[in-house]
Structure 1
Amino acid sequence: MLAPLIPRAVRGRPRAEDRRIINGMVYKIRTGISWRDLPERYGSWQTVYTRFRRYAIDGVFTRALRQIQTRADAAGDIDWLVQIDSTIVRAHQHAAATGRKGGSTGRTNRNDHALGRSRGGLTTKIHLAADGQGRPLALMLTAGQRHDSVMAQALLERIRVPRTGPGRPRSTPDHVVADKAYSSRAFRVYLRRRGIIATIPEKDDQKKHRRNRGSHGGRPPGFDRKTYRRRNTVERCFNHLKGFRGIATRYDKTATSYEAAVSLASFLLWARSFEDGP
């Protein structure tokens, strides 16, 4: 599935075997070791790192993730009851040593490289939208202190599953399930405008404010407890992703490289589901 997406040079020395290089990248992300410590069976670590960095900047793993989602959608295998959530990732000192000044160096880099300060120190936050089977549909990185509700709309707009035939990519879930962090009026209005059903519990202060306004407070938002129980699916998705030690702790200096690592791990989760399923 990855082979057609890998850039190839027309000239130059004979290439190292692509499968061995990709396996080296997966080994690095799975174990969290430094690039220099890659076992010799994967060849030169400089080659593996250079290819990974090149693929990260070129968006190879992001395209691979969309491609495998397209395959699943064509088989009717995507459950469009989408759960959204985020998780905090602690940044290792190697990641924290990156330069924080100047412009971006890649497609997804920002000036802060998605590094920010929260109670745990320097952290990155992964925002994730997962399908009903707990597989990543869209992801984005922010600094660790960024609130979930601020990024909710941007996260949903990253869901774009291309069609195998003509037509626009699918970008609208049937249903969105989220926790109280996403219980803002603006987000609920956004979901209604797009025709998306929402199951989001209301915060206590919002309930109190609505009751204090009496008849002007409006009706309480609909809430299906049975559907909300499925929100643990996105938690299980995070659990699978953090089984990769290079994801559970951020070692990458740039947001481009770390996002590529998360995308590659997400691609592997989808590929594993195809081995078990369709």
Structure 2
Amino acid sequence: MKGLSGLLPAVFAVGLMTACQTVRTTQTGNVGVERSQMMMVSSREMESAASQSYQKIIQQAGQKNALNRDKEQVERVRAVARRLIPATGAFRPDAPNWRWEVNVLSSNDLNAWCMAGGKIAFYSGIIEKLDLTDDEIAAIMGHEIAHALREHARERASQAMVTNLGVAVLGAALGVGQAGTDLIGSVAKVSFELPNSREHETEADRIGVELAARGGYDPRAAVVLWQKMAKANSNQPPQWLSTHPSNQSRQQDLAQYAARVMPLYEQATQHTKPVK
């Protein structure tokens, strides 16, 4: 038994090397995001789990009469999405053809998220309490779409397998046991419940302003949005910004990258009239 237990760390290490892949989920875009990522979960598994989790959330919201209650509000959000989705092709050629879904959930929370494969939810609270302009909706949506493009949830699920779940979940990831069930159960948490890392947030900020600019929305609105969020939550950051850098450096970074993509915005607005 002692000899067997001594072999387990080596077996686990070999399994990790076999299961992990180094990938580049996106092209660099004008903002230059180019970090490689280590993945243990496949994109297909993550998208399938995200779709099932999203449908469950939407079904529950419908049962509570909390789904798409304000038609005008829903159309505003979906109109922004229709302009941002084609822009995702600058980072991933496959992304414009994802099975995108966009819904608004009635909730006082200042929150929004996008699951793997393009499953978007906006909470009415963030639109109403912050009196968002369409440019600011685009700033939030671009940020959340960026998380999906970069497959941050998949990366975090992979990291969780290595650091927290151990040999049993590794076996599930390799096709033994209830991998699908486990992944569906955790996908919501890694998509929008647990905090993202600062690195993920910075990538999403930078890609987000480029998506907004390419869609014909003023990328500088991201700075104004942050100012609104900080003012509305001076004591405690909302769930949507739970780990976003909460200091002046974040606003400076957003301003710098918004300026970098202004030519894209100017080019886009030559062909697309901003939605009032």
Q: Which has the higher helix share?
A: 2
Same fold (TM over 0.5): no
More relative contact order, 1 or 2 (CA 8 Å, 6+ apart): 1
TM-score, scaled relative to structure 1: 0.24
Q: Which has the higher strand share?
A: 1
TM-score, scaled relative to structure 2: 0.24
